[in-house]
Amino acid sequence: MRALTSAAAASFTLAVTAQSYPQVQMTYNYSYDISSTSVESLTCGSQLKAQGYATLGDIPHYPSIGASENVTDANSAACGTCILLQFAGNFASVLVVNHTDEGMVTSEQ
């Protein structure tokens, strides 16, 4: 049974690894690097404020935060999602806290 479980896990890993994901345009915005910026300036600000965060620096994932085109309004389910980005073999996770018109926008840090 143990060997069967390991084989099933390996197959699942290979399937996930082989899956392709959409490419999105990614840019940087220095405003996300200013830790004293109020969360009220963000599309997802009301959700962040309700969780007790007042500034960008208060957010646990800071400075790995950014904006996504998937955020449509302050009550968007995309607020607070973590997105894994890959570029040239490197990976970075970004917590979505804001809206952008196209792709992803992250802090420069």
Task: Tell me if 3 sits within 8 A of 9, measured CB to CB.
Answer: no
pLDDT of residue 54: 98
Helix (H) and strand (E) counts for the chain? Answer: 2, 5
Q: Exposed, middle or buried: residue 7 (CB in 10 Å: 0-12, 13-18, 19+)?
A: exposed
Max alpha carbon distance in the chain (Å)?
Answer: 54
CATH 2.40.40.10 fits 22-106, yes or no: yes
Q: How many CA atoms lie within 13 A of 70 on its CB side?
A: 14
pLDDT of residue 85: 87
pLDDT band with cut points at 50, 70 and 90 for residue 6: very low
pLDDT band with cut points at 50, 70 and 90 for residue 13: very low
pLDDT in tens, 31-86: 999 999 999 999 999 999 999 999 999 999 999 999 999 999 999 999 999 999 88
pLDDT of residue 20: 56
The better pLDDT of the pair 13, 29 is held by 29
Instruction: Give the whole-angstrom CA distance, residue 97 versus residue 39.
Output: 9
Helix (H), strand (E) at residue 83? strand 82-87
Would you kindly state where each structural domain of the chain is located, as residue ranges?
Answer: 22-106
